[in-house]
């Protein structure tokens, strides 16, 4: 994305939409929101995505071709930026990069859309974000994954409802924290899970959903993938949370379909007319990029959030080999998980990071066995002994980090629809060439629940905490009490505290992790 051109900008020129992108010089800030003439409407809400010390990515969606305009106000300063002209080719979505923001500041912004060939403009829609600090100060981030899965959409058990009358309660609980950042570890949507009007629950009652166009079948066309993202905004708690908290987005399998891998061809799923998964994945990735606010071309990326924190978002989906039983003893095309290029990027980024803590945002857990029929969907294969299959890749990474002396690494993930804390101990592992580290699992945010999964002994994981539905309980609804999110608080001193919470915001378990003094 090209950087906006800086220059003074008049009100008349702004409404005419003459320039493709421009910035008003910073000045003392009046109120951002003001009345506008009638014009385009804003669909779906607004939100912020990736952020840095002096920049942030902001998203919005119009109802017609128009130019995106973003105003911001922070620390007594303001700015106004012309973003892209949006059209049908992007489902009228746009992302604008805000520049020259004050560091470590609360930033209020407002998005509107201006007709390119006319004077009409939408009313502004406001949002909020926090830029990364330059100094050591306490920060808070939340994480989770899995939204609107297993047929549980915007709805509730029994009872009629209207749009906005019910909420994804986990999002409301997270909003009450007003954190610096949110991390969504993947399964932002469930493109392969249609949203029916009703779901029969195990106890015989019925969960009733709001329905929407193009959500009654699996997503195959680009428009059907887009519709899955739009559907989530029907929920008031979801929409309001994202307006208030910048979110770092990853992706997993359900953005395309369950357990997919590149090159796969569907053989038995009769719901699909398009059987080539690469074709589905290409459409799904376009919809994902249109409905997130990611800086740069890659899903895997590093986000620096001040001297205490670097985030490394990894992509465990795009570069993997086919799902196999995972018994290979040598690395090859069938053992790829993150892939050699991404693995080298991650190792070098962690080695060169100057941040106190390095958090790896993973879309799948490391030590939990996730099956795909007779094959393995995740990394762990459940086989006693040294690393095999995709585990070879992790062994290579962990060994390199130990040789480089990289400490203070924490992994966060979701995917398995329960919450847990795992400590990986080389003294208890079948492969011991690594330093101890923690992995924390939390989710779903709003989906069906099941589990727990088997822990593989290869890297010596110790289960420190778990809350999951009882074995054999099946697909439980969000109302059953097994929705979870995680909270990370890093004090200015460097102590990192992890708390696992349920959707009512009850603290289930927590631990304080002191920093490694090598940094």
Torsion of CA 206, 210, 211, 215, to 10 degrees: -90
Chain centroid to CA 123: 28
**Separation between Cα atoms, residue 328 and residue 456, nearest integer Å:** 16
Q: What is the pLDDT of residue 253?
A: 98
Contacts of 358 (CB under 8 A, 6+ apart): 310, 312, 350, 406, 408, 409, 410
pLDDT tens, residue order, the chain (519 aa): 333 333 333 323 333 332 333 333 343 333 232 334 456 877 778 999 999 999 999 999 999 999 999 999 999 999 999 999 999 999 999 999 999 999 999 999 999 999 988 778 899 999 999 999 999 999 999 999 999 999 999 988 875 444 444 579 999 999 999 999 999 999 999 999 999 999 999 888 899 999 999 999 999 999 999 999 999 999 999 999 999 999 999 999 999 999 999 999 999 999 999 999 999 999 999 999 999 999 999 999 999 999 999 999 999 999 999 999 999 999 999 999 999 999 999 999 999 999 999 999 999 999 999 999 999 999 999 998 999 999 999 999 999 999 999 999 999 999 999 999 999 999 999 999 999 999 999 999 999 999 899 999 999 999 999 999 988 887 899 999 999 999 999 999 999 999 999 999 999 999 999 998 544
Strand partners, 46: 60
3-state secondary structure 210-239: CCCCCCCCCCCCHHHHHHHHHHHCCCHHHH
Which helix or strand (DSSP H or E) is residue 277 part of? Answer: helix 277-290
Full set of structural domains in the chain with CATH = 5-130 (2.60.40.10), 139-513 (3.60.21.70)
CA distances to 298, 341, 350, 353, 413 from 302, rounded to whole Å, are 10, 15, 9, 10, 16
Residue 308 gets which letter from DSSP? T
Smallest Cα–Cα separation from 50: which of 183, 171, 173, 140?
183
**Separation between Cα atoms, residue 99 and residue 96, nearest integer Å:** 10
Q: What is the pLDDT of residue 166?
A: 52
Q: What is the pLDDT of residue 472?
A: 80
**Separation between Cα atoms, residue 174 and residue 171, nearest integer Å:** 5
- pTM assigned to the model: 0.92
At residue 399, the 3 state secondary structure works out as helix
Chain centroid to CA 113: 26
Contacts of 22 (CB under 8 A, 6+ apart): 4, 5, 6, 7, 9, 81, 82
- Residue 151 sits at the vertex; the CA angle it makes with 322 and 325, to the nearest 5 degrees, is 20
- Write out the two tokens for 52: 């840095």
């Amino acid at each position: 994305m090209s950087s906006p051109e800086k220059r003074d900008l008049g009100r008349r020129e702004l409404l005419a939409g003459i320039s493709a992108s421009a910035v008003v010089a910073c000045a003392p800030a009046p109120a951002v929101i003001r009345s506008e003439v009638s014009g385009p409407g804003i669909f779906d809400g607004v939100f912020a995505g990736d952020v840095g010390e002096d920049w942030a990515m902001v998203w919005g969606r119009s109802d017609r071709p128009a130019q995106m305009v973003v105003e911001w106000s922070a620390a007594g300063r303001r700015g106004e930026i012309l973003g892209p002209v949006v059209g049908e080719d992007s489902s009228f979505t746009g992302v604008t990069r805000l520049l020259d923001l004050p560091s470590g500041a609360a930033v209020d912004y407002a998005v509107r859309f201006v007709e390119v060939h006319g004077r009409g403009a939408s009313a502004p829609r406001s949002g909020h974000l926090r830029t990364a600090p330059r100094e050591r100060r306490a920060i808070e981030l939340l994480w989770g994954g899995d939204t609107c899965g297993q047929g549980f959409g915007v709805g509730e058990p029994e009872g009629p409802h209207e749009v906005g009358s019910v909420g994804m309660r986990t999002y409301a609980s997270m909003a009450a924290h007003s954190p610096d950042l949110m991390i969504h570890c993947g399964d932002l949507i469930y493109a392969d899970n249609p949203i029916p009007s009703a779901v029969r629950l195990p106890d015989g009652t019925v969960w009733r959903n709001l329905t929407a166009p193009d959500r009654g079948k699996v997503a195959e066309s680009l428009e059907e993938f887009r519709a899955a993202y739009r559907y989530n905004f029907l929920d008031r708690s979801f929409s309001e949370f994202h307006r208030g908290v910048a979110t770092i987005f990853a992706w997993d399998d359900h953005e395309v379909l369950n357990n997919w891998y590149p090159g796969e061809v569907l053989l038995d799923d009769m719901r699909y007319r398009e059987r080539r998964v690469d074709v589905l994945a290409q459409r799904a990735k376009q919809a994902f990029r249109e409905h997130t606010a990611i800086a740069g071309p890659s899903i895997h990326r590093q986000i620096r959030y001040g001297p205490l924190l670097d985030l490394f978002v990894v992509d465990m989906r795009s570069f993997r080999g086919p799902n196999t039983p995972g018994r290979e003893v040598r690395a090859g095309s069938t053992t790829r998980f993150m892939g050699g290029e991404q693995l080298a990027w991650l190792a070098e980024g962690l080695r060169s990071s100057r941040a106190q803590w390095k958090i790896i945002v993973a879309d799948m857990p490391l030590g939990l066995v996730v099956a795909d029929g007779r094959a393995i969907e995740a990394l762990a294969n459940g086989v006693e002994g040294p690393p095999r299959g995709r585990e070879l890749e992790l062994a290579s990474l962990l060994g390199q980090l130990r040789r480089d002396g990289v400490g203070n690494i924490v992994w966060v993930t979701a995917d398995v629809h329960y919450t847990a804390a795992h400590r990986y101990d080389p003294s208890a592992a079948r492969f011991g060439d690594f330093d101890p580290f923690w992995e924390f699992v939390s989710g779903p945010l709003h989906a069906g629940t099941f589990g727990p999964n088997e822990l593989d002994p290869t890297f010596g994981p110790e289960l420190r905490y778990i809350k999951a539905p009882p074995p054999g309980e099946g697909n439980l609804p969000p109302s059953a009490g097994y929705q979870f999110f995680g909270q990370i608080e890093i004090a200015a001193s460097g102590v990192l505290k992890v708390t696992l919470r349920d959707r009512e915001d009850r603290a289930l378990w927590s631990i304080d992790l002191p920093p490694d003094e090598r940094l």
